[in-house]
Amino acid sequence: MKPQDIFFIIVLAVLVWRKNPKFLVGAGLLCLILSIPLFHLWIFFTAERLVYYAAGFFFIGIILYILKKSK
C-alpha cells in the first residue's frame, strides 16, 4: 500500500463521515484536475491512480446521494 493510498483512505473516511455528497464530488473533480498535468508530463502511474481515486469519490458520492434521497 502506497502513501497516496493511505491518504486517499483517510480523506475518504473524513468525507464519508461528513455525509455530504457535494464534498465527495468536489474531491473527485479535484483529483481529475490534478491528473491532467501528470498525464501531460507522462507520469502515468500517479495520474492513473488519481483517476481511480476520482472514480471512488464519485461512486461513494452517488451512493450517499441515493441514501440521502431515499430517507
Cell of 38: 501528470
The predicted-structure confidence for 5-37, as pLDDT tens digits, reads as follows 898 899 999 999 998 999 999 999 999 999 999
The CA R_g of the chain, rounded to the nearest whole Å, is: 13
Cell of 39: 498525464
Whole-number pLDDT of residue 57:
95
Angle between helices 44-70 and 3-18 (to 10 degrees): 20
The number of CA neighbours under 13 Å toward the Cβ of 62 is 6
Of residues 1 and 31, more confidence is placed in: 31
| Max intra-chain CA distance, the chain | 45
Whole-number pLDDT of residue 41:
86
Please state the rounded mean pLDDT for residues 41-69: 91
Per-residue confidence band for 4, with pLDDT thresholds at 50, 70 and 90:
confident
